Structure formats: structure tokens, C-alpha cells
């Protein structure tokens, strides 16, 4: 039975996206997510790329918090059959009403497989499932990783909306036009607390290197109007500055607001330039002071 996907997602305008937890033991993850919740952050986004399994990761973080929304950004459809994704999502929706968002995406290209066909087939299988599991009082909610017009339309029609990773503000405006006024639009954006242009761009290029060489990401950047020369050799200053907002806190915050003005409902902020195993907490604190007005703190 297909889940009801008509409910809106209320994640607040800004959230945290991080790979930091891939390198931390569970006890440190718990302490960090609780501190973020106490600060007033309402949404925390996690990837599925470096080893943490998406849905057990989400379940653990939900168990550590009281109000935080945990968003899979993304759960890769290649990692598990649709019936197991559905079953896990159903349990999390039942156990943590309104606090889990199932982000679905391909993650990478597979030779000979068309992305639209693969995602449609996966959603068809999820929506056709019958299960003896109890129906949660708050429906399971899903969003799709989407960049091009066809996948964005699919996210509009078959999910609560879309999430976009490594895009510029112009893409956010384009995505909003395709999604229409009602579908959710979440945008991830990398930020770097570094004001020296040479240092900032060097760190940003290191972060962007995998994305500037992957075929499907290169195609995305071409659609956004970047030339082959701008994408090649580590990326031009223009593409680097568009995809990684660097500078002091106020400069970064002003640039992040551009996505909201362009139509994003929510911006997931990814702090980069942190050594694996260390924490971005001081930067999350600084961003929270600027991005989370009238913050409601959780008393523990």
C-alpha cells in the first residue's frame, strides 16, 4: 500500500548536513546530536556513502533525540531491496512520528541503467507492497534526490518533494519552478570558514574533486551553464565559489539566504574543511546563532 505523501515537511529553513559521524564512535555521535538539538537545530541530514547504513544510522540518531528530524540524504536504492526500505521506513515513521524523512536516490550511475526507469521501478515496488506491519499514525514521508527536469517532476508527483546536492542558487530557482509551489525543496550547500581566497579555493577544490569528475555530476554542471573548461582541472573560480560558500560567518549566511530567496524550503548546510574524526560543532554553533532566530532549546 502506498504511503500518504501529501503532508508538508516542517524542517525549518536551515539544517545540518555532515559526513562527520562516519568517523566518530556512537557515543560521540549521541553527544553531538543532542547538543545540536539543544542549540535549536531541527533537522539533521546524513549520507550513505562511507559505511554507515542509512536506516540503522537514522534510527540510532532518532533514538538519541526528542524533537530532531533525521533526514536520509540519501538512502541509495542500490543498497537494499524496495521491500526492506519500505519496512524500515514504516517502522521509523511508527516509532518516531513526523521525525524521519526517507530521502531516496541513486547515489551513482550504473552502466546500462536509466536513472528514471530505475527510480520509477523502485517506487512502483514500494507502493505495491502489502505488509502485516501496523500502519503508523503519521505517514512515512519520502523525498527524491533530483537535479534534471524529469527527476524533479517525478519528485513532485511521487514524493513529498526533492533534495538537491551540490547545486547553485540558479538551480534552486529552476527546481522551484518545476516542483511548483507546494512540493518540498531541500538544498544542500557546502560552506567553509576561511577568508583567504587562495586557501579557501584550494580546500574547496579538494572537496569538489570527486564531483567534478563523475559523469552524471559533470552533466548536471553542464546543464547549469558551466563550460567544459570551468569544470575541468579542479574547477574555475566561478564554479568553486558557486558550489562552496566561503568567508566569515556573515558572508556565508548571506549567501545561504540566496537559496531561500530562490525558492528553497530548507537548506542543509555542510561544513567542510574539518579533519576526519574531528567535529564541526564550533561552526554549527556559530551558524546556529545567525540562522536560528527565536530558537527553542530542548531542556534535558
pLDDT tens per residue, range 160-212: 999 999 999 999 999 999 999 999 999 999 999 999 999 999 999 999 999 99
Identify the H or E element spanning 35: helix 26-39
Domain ranges of the chain: 14-195+248-291
CATH topology of domain 14-195+248-291: TIM Barrel (3.20.20)
Q: How far does CA 242 lie from the centroid of its chain?
A: 18
The pLDDT of 72-87, averaged and rounded, is 97
**Residue 223 region by backbone torsions, left for phi larger than 0, else alpha for psi between -120 and 50, else beta:** alpha
Identify the band that residue 297 occupies on the pLDDT scale cut at 50, 70 and 90.
low
User: Could you read off the pLDDT of 3-51 as tens digits, one per residue?
Assistant: 333 347 999 999 999 999 999 999 999 999 999 999 999 999 999 999 9
Taking Cα atoms as reference points, which of 35, 10, 11, 8 lies closest to residue 280?
A: 35
| Reported pTM | 0.95
Amino acid at each position: 500500500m502506498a504511503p500518504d505523501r501529501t503532508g508538508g515537511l516542517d524542517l525549518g529553513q536551515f539544517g545540518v548536513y555532515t559526513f562527520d559521524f562516519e568517523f566518530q564512535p556512537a557515543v560521540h555521535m549521541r553527544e553531538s546530536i543532542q547538543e545540536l538539538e539543544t542549540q535549536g537545530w531541527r533537522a539533521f541530514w546524513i549520507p550513505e556513502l562511507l559505511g554507515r547504513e542509512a536506516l540503522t544510522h537514522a534510527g540510532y540518531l532518532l533514538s538519541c533525540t526528542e524533537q530532531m528530524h533525521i533526514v536520509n540524504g540519501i538512502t541509495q536504492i542500490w543498497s537494499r531491496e524496495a521491500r526492506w526500505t519500505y519496512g524500515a521506513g514504516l517502522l521509523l515513521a511508527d516509532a518516531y512520528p513526523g521525525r524521519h524523512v526517507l530521502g531516496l536516490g541513486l547515489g551513482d550511475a550504473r552502466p546500462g541503467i536509466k536513472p528514471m526507469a530505475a527510480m520509477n521501478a523502485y517506487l512502483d515496488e514500494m507502493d505495491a507492497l502489502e505488509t502485516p506491519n501496523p500502519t503508523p499514525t503519521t505517514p512515512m514521508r519520502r523525498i527524491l534526490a533530483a537535479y534534471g527536469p524529469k527527476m524533479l517532476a517525478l519528485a513532485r508527483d511521487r514524493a513529498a518533494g526533492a533534495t538537491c546536492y551540490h547545486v547553485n542558487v540558479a538551480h534552486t530557482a529552476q527546481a522551484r519552478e518545476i516542483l511548483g509551489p507546494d512540493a518540498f525543496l531541500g538544498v544542500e550547500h557546502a560552506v567553509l570558514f576561511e577568508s583567504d581566497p587562495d586557501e579557501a579555493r584550494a580546500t574547496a577544490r579538494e572537496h569538489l574533486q570527486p564531483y567534478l569528475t563523475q559523469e552524471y555530476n559533470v552533466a548536471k554542471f553542464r546543464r547549469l551553464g558551466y563550460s567544459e573548461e570551468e569544470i575541468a582541472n579542479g574547477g574555475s573560480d566561478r564554479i568553486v565559489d558557486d558550489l562552496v560558500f566561503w568567508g566569515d560567518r556573515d558572508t556565508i549566511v548571506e549567501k545561504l539566504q540566496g537559496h531561500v530567496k530562490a525558492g528553497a524550503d530548507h537548506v542543509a548546510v555542510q561544513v567542510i574543511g574539518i579533519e576526519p574524526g574531528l567535529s564541526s560543532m564550533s561552526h554549527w554553533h556559530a551558524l546556529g546563532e545567525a540562522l536560528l532566530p527565536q530558537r527553542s532549546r530542548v531542556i534535558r
